Structures are given as C-alpha cells and as structure tokens.
Amino acid sequence: MIDDPDRCYAALQARDPRYDGWFIVAVSTTGIYCRPSCPARTPRRDRVRFFSTSAAAQGEGFRACKRCRPDTSPGSPEWDQRADLVGRAMRLIADGVVDRDGVEGLARRLGYTPRHLHRQLRAEVGAGPLSLARAQRAQTARTLIESTAMPFTELAYASGFRSLRRFNDTVREVFDLTPTELRRRARSGASIGSSTLRLRLPLRRPIASWLITDHLAVRAIDGVEQVCAQGFYRRSLALPRGEGVVEFAMRSDHVQAHLHLTDLRDLTAAVDRSRRMLDLDADPEAVDAHLAADPVLAPLVAAAPGIRVPSYPDPFEAAVRTLLGQQVSLAGARRFWTRLVARTGGVLDHPIEEVTRRFPSAEELAEADLAGLGLTTRRERALRHLAIEVAAGDIDLRIGADRDVVRASLAAVPGIGPWTVEEVALRGLADPDAFPETDLVLRQVAARLGLGDDAAQLRARAERWRPWRAYAAQHLWTNAVAERRAA
C-alpha cells in the first residue's frame, strides 16, 4: 500500500475502515499516527507520511492517536498472503517469538542470520524485529492495563518487558499517557480474574459469521471444544508457557472473546492464534471482488459475502485431524478425534465446564498407544510417523513454517497424499491460496456448476481465483452444505 501514496491518501480522505491495518498515517505537524479511518480532520497531503507498521511510525518519533487507537485495528492481510521471509517473520513476531526467544531465536527459526533478517524487515516494513516486538509489547501492555487490575510490576513482565522502567517509558512514549492515566481513562479498573481477560477482537466487514460458527460446531471435539448457548464457542489452547481456554462470540463488527490463561505472558500468542483461527485479518471486500469476477462464483459470493476460512490454532493439530479424516465422513472423523483426545490429550489444570482437555502434542502422540482407536493399520502408521518426525524436528509444523517446505515434508510421509497436504496448508498454515483440488465434495460441486468434471479441469479453472483459492474452495463447500439442507 505505501508504495502508492496517492491511493493511501484517498483512503484517508474517505476514512475507509477497510484499510485499517494495511498502513499507518502519520501527521508531521502533530507528531501523531492514526489508522486511515480516524474521524479527526483530514490533514493536508504535504503533512502526512505513510508507514507499513506502527513500529515504523514509532521509530520516527510519532505517538499513537488517542482517538482512533491504531494499535487496536485489524492486522494486515498482507502477512497471510506472503510466504517469503518477511511474511514468515511477521507471523512469528505476532505469535511472540521475539519475546520468548529473542531476535537470535527468530532468525534460527527462519534459517537466516539476525543481521540479514533485520536488513530485510527494515527494507520492507520500516522497522527491525526488536522494534516490531516492542510495538507489540506496548499493545499487549495496553490491553492488560485496561482489562485487568493487575499491579503494574506484574503487568510489565506479563507484557514481555524486562523492567518496570522500560515498561513505563514505552507506554508513555507510544501512547503519550502513563500506565495510570491509561487505566483511569479505561474506567474499568477490574477484571473477571487475574488470569482472565475480556477482549474485543477487531475485524473487517463484511463477515459471514454464521459460517464460522457452523464450521466450528460440526467439528467440535468432546473435551477440547464446546459449543455453548447464545452462539458462544469455547476451546482449549496449548500455548508456549502454559495452557489456556478461549471463548468466542461472533458479532457484526468484532468478536467478543474471553481468554483464560495460566500465564498472562501467553496473551500475545493466544490473541494471534485466535485471530488466525477465525481468519479475522482477511480483506473480505478484496477477496469478494476478485472471486465475483468469475460468473460461476459470483452468485456464491453474493450469498455469503465476507466469507472466512477458519483454521486450527496449531498446524500439528490440523495435520492430525486431517490425517484421521481421510476418506471418512465428518462424523467418522469426529469420532476418531474424540477417541484420540480421550486417550492421549492432556488434562487441563483449570478446566472450564466441558472443556477439560487439550489436543495432544507431537511428543505425546509419538509415545502413545494408538491401538484400539479404530484406525486402519496404514493410518495408524502414518500418524505415528508424522508425530515422530514432528517431535524430532524433521518436519516443521509450527506457526511461521515455510509453506512450500511443509508441503514437501508432508508429501514424503507414507500414507499422506495431495488432499491431506493441501488441507493442512489451508486449515493449519492458513494459506489463502491453498486448494485441495482432489476433494470429492469440491469436485462434485464443480461438476454441478459447470466448472469441470475432474481435478485437472477444476485446477485449471482455479488458476483465475489466485491468490484466493482457499476462499473459493470455502464458497464451494458452503454451497454444497446449502444444497444438502435444501434437499
């Protein structure tokens, strides 16, 4: 976006909320940076600068606007699309890797030197990994300040700061307010509990929220997930420093979320995984406009504007669930998932109602007794092979993994075919262009709509849907469900 400043300024003049998160607007005369939809008076063109990230604006001495709160805008969908070094780095930083492992740990995960990584990020987004992580820590700190009654000393360390002084200095520098003033302005002063947070997760409209709710409900695993009254969905999360339970309720302009964490330092990771799980950083208008250019897809897009592609919070979980779901019905796959969790899933120290377990890790599955789950011998072997390879680090199924490398690694596992590989890319790596062309339901819908009678024809037609083939697939699946319900 910032390579086209005229387009950025036009979005600013229109106060277009679709571009919130795509770029930051900084005003030289006030020293403030805003989101494009800020309701303040539009500054003159010669007084504004555009940045890719808040960190880049902060690095130039600008402070966050107190009115539009640019730190609470949706994330940029660019990092979901891009599979290069910068895209992977931004996904990992969003998950809190720099706070946990430092820049050196981030560089190791990516396979580059810290110097090369810093140079690439500076060139692309205007800030290095430390600055990006600092901006994220400031956002986490603000969330905890406004959502909890935690003492600031505890809050500083939970946000990722190494000292109370650095916490105070950063909050004052970024928001032009002290932590005490931020808490006073929030006027909440209390939380549900010391480790539970109420949050509003921002999104871009439109959103087909009913589809996300339905998708989660029909795939819920007993013990790990629970579909509650009033559209609430609850599930456990395995996080870097502990466990958590997240609750979602879809709204028209945001997602209401409750996060129950055993370690508040996991807040950054929990929010990031929740957002990816619900695909909240998507740009629905761009996706819809692109897919609606195909006359066959246009009616499907009109029937479900703002469609999202839900995913799982952990790529390894996606791989296991997909592997067990090969060539069986959704009901059959759900039975396998539930049996596996009952046998191997860890019991939560702090269960909430029916959510009592977490999905097993690769290390747990590598050592588990898989006999008696009803799996075929071939599938049981494939599952154990996958778990052993992931546990040993020979297959990287972590957030931020190289999508092409993951595809090649999974394809080399006996018992895993092209459908499973693309499903993992779609539901585990959140690749917006993943497309399981051999999927039986996709092929049936495609044939009925005149898109082709076999996988090769469907693949050829899908070329015009790039880079949003995952959304096209979701439209086709949604159409199949609608047709079954209408029959």
**Residue % of the chain over a pLDDT of 90:** 90
DSSP state of 53: S
Please give the structure tokens belonging to residue 355. Answer: 């959510």
* Least confident span in 26-35, 153-162, 380-389: 153-162
Active site residues: 34, 439
Quick: pLDDT tens for 301-355: 999 999 999 999 999 999 999 999 999 999 999 999 999 999 999 999 999 999 9
Rounded CA gap, 478 and 400, in Å?
28
Q: Is the pLDDT of residue 226 over 50?
A: yes
Residue 416 CB: number of other CB atoms within 10 A? 21
Confidence of residue 192 (pLDDT cuts 50, 70, 90): very low
pLDDT at 189 over 50: no
pLDDT category of residue 15 using cuts at 50, 70 and 90: very high
The pLDDT tens digits for 74-113 are: 999 998 888 899 999 999 999 999 999 999 999 999 999 9
CB neighbours (10 Å) of residue 13? Answer: 11
Query: How far, in Å, CA of 479 to CA of 447, rounded?
Result: 13
Report the mean per-residue pLDDT for the chain.
94
Residue/partner pairs of 146-154 with CB below 8 Å, 24 or more apart = 146/182, 146/183, 146/186, 146/188, 147/186, 147/188, 147/191, 147/197, 147/198, 147/199, 148/190, 148/191, 148/194, 148/197, 149/189, 149/190, 149/191, 150/191, 150/194, 150/264, 152/179, 152/180, 154/264
**Structural domains present in the chain:** 5-72 (3.40.10.10), 78-147+149-186 (1.10.10.60), 196-281+312-427 (1.10.340.30), 288-307+435-486 (1.10.1670.40)
Kindly report, residue by residue over 453-462, the tens digit of the pLDDT.
888 999 999 9
Return the pLDDT at 230.
75
pLDDT in tens, 103-121: 999 999 999 999 999 999 9
CA distance 80 to 429: 9
Task: Say yes or no to pLDDT of 195 above 80.
Answer: no
Model confidence pLDDT, tens digit, residues 396-454 = 999 999 999 999 999 999 999 999 999 999 999 999 999 999 999 999 999 999 998 88
Neighbours of 153 (CB within 10 A): 11
